[in-house]
Amino acid sequence: MELILKEDVPNLGHKDDIVTVKDGYGRNYLIPRGYAILATETAKKVHAENQKQRAHKLEKIKNEALELAKKLEGVSLTIGAKASATGKIFGSVNTIQIAEALAKEGFEIDRKSIVIKEDAVKELGKYKATIKLHREVKVEIDFEVVAE
């Protein structure tokens, strides 16, 4: 079954992508929740026309994301956390704390677009996080967790 995505769906595709999925997944999950519509010939023509009109706007957004990525490349964050004498953190460091640290540096980035490579940051040390600024623009930043 071919569908046109109306929203970004994790592990499937981005908004306005034409994807092929199994019938049950499309009929019972994606379409009823408003994540996708059927990719009929008419819908494909309307989709193509909308893509042409939107191409200029998307290029501008991508260029802004590239500029922000250049500014973020040299950024290294330090995040303070309460820790034991052995270096274990009480709790863990998550994307909210990284977003707050970036806000202090002057970058307003949504926490949902930040991905930490490790499953959970529960010890002091240096780590990497990936920020998805655009579907084609990703930047990797370093952050260090230190004891408060």
Give domain limits for the chain: 2-66, 69-147
Domain 69-147's class? alpha beta
Angstrom distance (rounded) from CA 134 to CA 14: 11
pLDDT score at 22: 96
pLDDT averaged over 10-residue windows placed end to end, the chain, 148 residues: 93 91 95 94 92 84 89 87 88 89 89 85 89 88 89
Q: Give CA–CA dist 55/48, Å, rounded.
A: 11
- Distance from C-alpha of 72 to C-alpha of 1, rounded to nearest angstrom: 40
What does the pLDDT read at residue 55? 84
Q: Give the Cα separation of 64 and 148 in Å (integer).
A: 35
pTM: 0.64
- Count the Cβ atoms, other than its own, within 10 Å of residue 76: 10
Phi and psi for 50 in degrees, rounded to 5?
-65, -40
Range 2-66: architecture per CATH: 3-Layer(aba) Sandwich (3.40)
Q: What is the Cα–Cα distance from 114 to 10, expressed in whole angstroms? A: 14
What is the number of alpha carbons within 13 Å of residue 122 lying toward its C-beta?
4
pLDDT in tens, 87-100: 888 888 888 999 99
Query: What integer pLDDT is reported at residue 39 of this predicted model?
Result: 94
Three-state DSSP state, 39: coil
